[in-house]
Amino acid sequence: MAHKIIPIGPYHPLQEEPEFFKLHVDGETVVDIDIELGYNHRLIEKIAESKNFDQVAFLVERICGICSTSHPFAYVNAIDDLIGVQAPERALYIRTIIGELERIHSHFLWLGLAGHFLGYNTVWMWAWRYREPVLDIFERVAGNRQNYAMMKPGGVRRDMFEEDFSWIKKTLKDLIPKVDMFKGAVMDDPVIHARTEGVGVLTREDVHQYSVIGPTARASGVAKDIRKDDPYAAYDKVEWKVITYEGGDVYSKAVVRILELYESINIILQCLDKMPKGPIDSGIKDIPPGEGIGRHEAPRGEVIHYVMSDGGNSPSRHKIRAPSYMNIASNKKAVIGETISDAAIILAAVDPCYCCTERMAVVDYKTGKKLMDGQDLIRLSQEKTERLRGRHNMPPLH
Amino acid sequence: MTKLLFNFLIFPGFLFTVVFGLAANWIDRKVTARIQWRVGPPWYQPLIDLVKLSIKEITIPRTASKELFLLSPMIGLSAATLVSTLVWLPNIDRVSTGFSGDIIVIVYLLTLPAIAVILGASASGNPLASLGASREIKMVIAYELPFIISLVVPVIKSHGVLKLSDIINYQAAHGSFVASLSGMIAFIVMIFCMQAKLGLVPFDASEAETEIMGGVLIEYSGMLLAIFKLTKAMLMVALPLFLITLFWQGFNFLSIWKYVILLVIIILIRNTNPRVRIDQAVGFFWGKMTLLAILAVLLAIKGM
């Protein structure tokens, strides 16, 4: 029997991002899924090669609006690794605080969206309301609600003021009862249980096979967390624990994220107490030739930045791997066999972020053979630039 | 004849119910907004929404079966108009209106808007709409069973009367049915069925914006969509009114608080629940709700 195809995307009210899931359905049951990404390739890695090392931090900040400090965080880790320099202690604490604040606001955002996908718009609005105080903290600390521009190779760009600390602590402590409320709303609501429990299960084996990371993996009982596994910044200087939950279903993913909110608040409070006085920047002058790898546990999982320098002013190669790139493929395991109603929430449960994830290659549709890879595409774009320059009577670049 | 037309088109039929329905729609949106910490729309928002929709272009998809696609909103609207006339009249004039068996006619007419939605969705030729239509069919099959069973309770309690005005009069003489145990249970079952008939969360699987992008209504635009919205607004009046008539001594303009209570219940249910899956909805209505309805009928036979 020919299966009907229910499209989710490329433009769909489910997730207002360019993604395309073709659900092959038999009645209401999903029998197969095609995952198609690549509608919005922005050439970030290529652009990075034309910016200097300081500017790249701003560039990668704009990869994603939600985890807008995760990419700079991983990037500065990579540069620090490349040079072999350790940022000053105070800078490490500030980096940690910014990273954890971002996790709080991102998890709240996901919680709201998950509610929306389930048709529970009240949860959506409430979660986003309680996300506001976190953004207020960002505004006070960094001057911006998003795109904080705090990360800088060898340190942080601006200091935090001691006089803000008590207000930040109070705001965060006020948040704890709100998190309690959401925990109650998710864990005690029979209808939410009915909609999310046993839905879209990823087993431990699936997690290992698909290399799933972040809260999606931790919800299957796999304690993967780069903050613990390979500590950086101030994560080894504070007490906290990796949240895991057995089950692997949508419910577990929600619970893991809610419990992580407590841990993040806990980490920030400790950092504020322990933060030493001192410089915030180690004053890097030159970047020597070499390679560096930086990792950061973003709200969605581990981000990896690889930076290669030839001793010049800008990276000669910059490679980014975002967490959703690993997580989205696991939908193939989680969605098949479920109903269309559940597919919506399962697809959303990995907290996908497509703008970080876009990759591009030209493939022959029939044979599946790769016709052009990254190098070819770069060559094409260079040729086009040359053509355009020629039309405007500008001298060729190469 | 003129009186009939007047009743049907102006008071208490079409025009009056529309005004009432849009007001209810505004209350729904405003209260929902306040629950969700938003400001909410001004009172005339539902009206200007309708006006805006009706001056928009109507797109008929190439795959659609044209006549049915255009006809089905009208079927829904005329059924809603008829049903609101039939429910309003006994409440206004308890002596000379209605006919024996008008309850049965109303039950039939109340399913018609859902049937119209199913017809329109199937006619549009969109796979998402057909998915929505199949969900709507399952939904109708699910909620009609407990709805009709609990409808038997007031009939039994008024000793086999099938006329709305007589049921009101009986209650006026012997007290509201809702005050008795069986009446209360049947009333609660009816409230859940009403939520499903109105297609509101948690029973909005057939529209489910985040799953199937509006499902049954996906291909409708302009005036046709406005008519569907209007039908829904009218049902938002007719259904609670029907319940009040059956269980709560009927309705006059002094007892508008009864309607407001029902409206608030609808809004609260809709704002404190996620959407249930269609199989869960069918299980809910055929399981718990049907059992409760049967229990109510047994209790009513016992005279409780």
The pLDDT value given to residue B291: 92
- Per-state percent for chain B, helix, strand, coil, to nearest 5: 75, 0, 25
From residue B3, alpha-carbon distances to A77, B17, B103, B109 in Å are 82, 17, 22, 21
The single residue listed with the structure tokens 């006549």 is B67
B274 pLDDT higher than 80:
yes
Please answer yes or no on whether A344 and B211 come within 8 Å at the CB atom: yes
Give residue B130's pLDDT: 84
Residue A249 clears pLDDT 60, i.e. is over it: yes
The predicted model gives A29-58 an average pLDDT of: 85
The minimal CB distance from B273 to the residues A14, A25, A120 is found for: A120
| The residue to which tokens 């690993």 are assigned | A326
Q: For residue B276, which residues of chain A lie inside 8 Å, CB to CB? A: 191, 194-195
Considering only CB atoms, which chain A residues are within 8 Å of B32?
A: 121
Look at residue B40 and tell me whether its pLDDT is greater than 80: yes
CB of A193 within 8 Å of any CB in chain B? no
User: Which residues from chain A sit within 8 angstroms of residue B38, using beta carbons?
Assistant: 125
Q: Which residues contact A201 (CB under 8 A, 6 or more apart)?
A: A247, A248, A249, A334
Residue A341 near chain B (CB below 8 Å) = yes
Q: Which of A122, A126, A186, A342 to probe by mutation at the B interface, max B CB count within 10 Å?
A: A122
Task: Look at A18-27, A100-109, A369-378, B179-188 and tell me which has the smallest mean pLDDT.
Answer: A369-378
Q: Which of A342-351, B113-122, B254-263 has the lowest mean pLDDT?
A: A342-351
- Distance to chain B for A323, nearest Cα, Å: 24
User: Under a CB-based contact definition with an 8 Å cutoff, are residues A186 and A258 in contact?
Assistant: yes
Of the partner residues B127, B208, B280, the one whose CB lies closest to the CB of residue A4: B127
pLDDT of B137 above 70: yes
Rounded CA-CA distance B196/B144 in Å is 10
Query: What distance lies between CA B253 and its chain's CA centroid?
Result: 20
Looking at residue A321, its pLDDT comes to 87
**Residue B211 near chain A (CB below 8 Å):** yes
Considering only A37-46, A308-317, B219-228, B235-244, which range has the smallest mean pLDDT? A37-46
| Chain B residues in contact with A115 (beta carbon < 8 A) | 274
Taken as a whole, chain A contains a residue count of 398
- Report how far residue A185's alpha carbon sits from residue A177's, in angstroms, rounded to the nearest whole number: 12
Measured between alpha carbons, how far is B240 from B227 in angstroms, rounded to an integer? 20
CA distance B116 to B71: 9
- Shortest Cα–Cα distance, A130 to chain B (Å): 11
Look at residue A104 in the predicted model and tell me its pLDDT. 92
Residue A313 has pLDDT above 60, yes or no: yes
* Per-residue confidence (pLDDT) for residue A357, from 0 to 100: 62
* Mean pLDDT across B290-302: 89
Find how far residue B59's CA is from the centre of its chain. 27
Compute the average pLDDT of residues A160-181. 89
A1 has a pLDDT exceeding 60 = no
Rounded distance between C-alpha atoms, residue B176 and residue B162, angstroms: 17
User: Looking at chain B, how many residues does it have?
Assistant: 304
Q: Is the CB of A339 less than 8 angstroms away from the CB of B134?
A: no
Mind listing the domains of chain A with CATH numbers?
4-39+325-391 (3.30.390), 44-321 (1.10.645.10)
Strand partners, A320: A305
Distance from CA of B180 to the nearest CA of A (A): 29
Residue B247 CA to residue B180 CA, distance in Å, equals 10
DSSP state of A281: B
Closest to A145 measured CA to CA, from A133, A153, A135, A157: A135
Do the beta carbons of residue A298 and residue A138 sit within 8 Å? no
CA distances from A29 to A4, A49, B30, B122 (A): 10, 46, 37, 20
Res. A398: pLDDT tops 80:
no
User: What value does the mean pLDDT take over residues A94-114?
Assistant: 90
Q: How close does chain B come to A14, measured CA to CA in Å?
A: 5
Please tell me which residue of chain B has the smallest CA distance to A14.
B210
- How far B210 CA lies from chain A's nearest CA (Å)? 5
Residue B280 touches chain A, beta carbons under 8 Å: yes
- Which of B134, B204, B213 lies nearest to residue A119, judging by beta carbons? B204
> From the CA of A120, how many Å to the nearest CA of chain B?
4
Reported ipTM: the value is 0.79
User: Chain A residues with CB inside 8 Å of B128's CB?
Assistant: 6
Average pLDDT value for chain A: 84
Give the pLDDT of residue B290. 92
The mean pLDDT value for B127-153 works out to 89
User: Does residue A134 carry a pLDDT above 80?
Assistant: yes
SS3 assignment, position A370: strand
Q: Does B269 touch chain A (CB under 8 A)?
A: no
Q: Is B274–A118 a contact, with Cβ atoms under 8 angstroms apart?
A: yes
Preferred mutation among A8, A11, A28 to probe B, highest tally of B CBs within 10 A: A28
Is the peptide bond prior to A7 cis by the omega test (within 30 degrees of 0)? no
Q: What is the pLDDT of residue A330?
A: 86
- The pLDDT tens digits for B143-155 are 999 999 998 888 8
Per-residue confidence (pLDDT) for residue A293, from 0 to 100 = 92
Least confident of A207-221, B33-47, B240-254: B240-254
Q: Taking 80 as the threshold, does the pLDDT of residue A17 lie above it?
A: no
Identify the pLDDT of residue A354: 66
The domain limits of chain B are 2-302
Residue A262: HSE in the Cβ half-sphere, 13 Å Cα cutoff: 14
Please give the pLDDT value at position A328: 84
Shortest CA distance to A249 belongs to which of A279, A281, A221?
Answer: A221
Residues 93-132 in B contacting A (C-alpha not used; CB under 8 Å): 127-128, 131
Residue A360's pLDDT band, with cuts at 50, 70 and 90, is low
Chain B CB contacts of A344 under 8 Å are 208, 210-211
- Give residue A264's pLDDT: 92
Q: Are strands A151-152 and A155-156 parallel, antiparallel or unpaired?
A: antiparallel
Query: A356: pLDDT confidence band, cut at 50, 70 and 90?
Result: low
Q: Any CB–CB contact under 8 A between A23 and chain B?
A: no
Asked if the model's pLDDT at residue A350 lies above 80, the reply is no
Give the pLDDT confidence score for residue A62 in this predicted structure: 86
> Chain B within 8 Å of A126 (Cβ-Cβ)?
yes
CB-based contacts of B264, cutoff 8 Å, min separation 6: B31
Asked whether A255 and A87 are in contact (CB, 8 A), the reply is no
Rounded average pLDDT over B240-266: 85
What is the pTM assigned to this prediction? 0.82
User: CA A176 → CA A11, A181, A182, A239, distances in Å?
Assistant: 36, 9, 10, 18
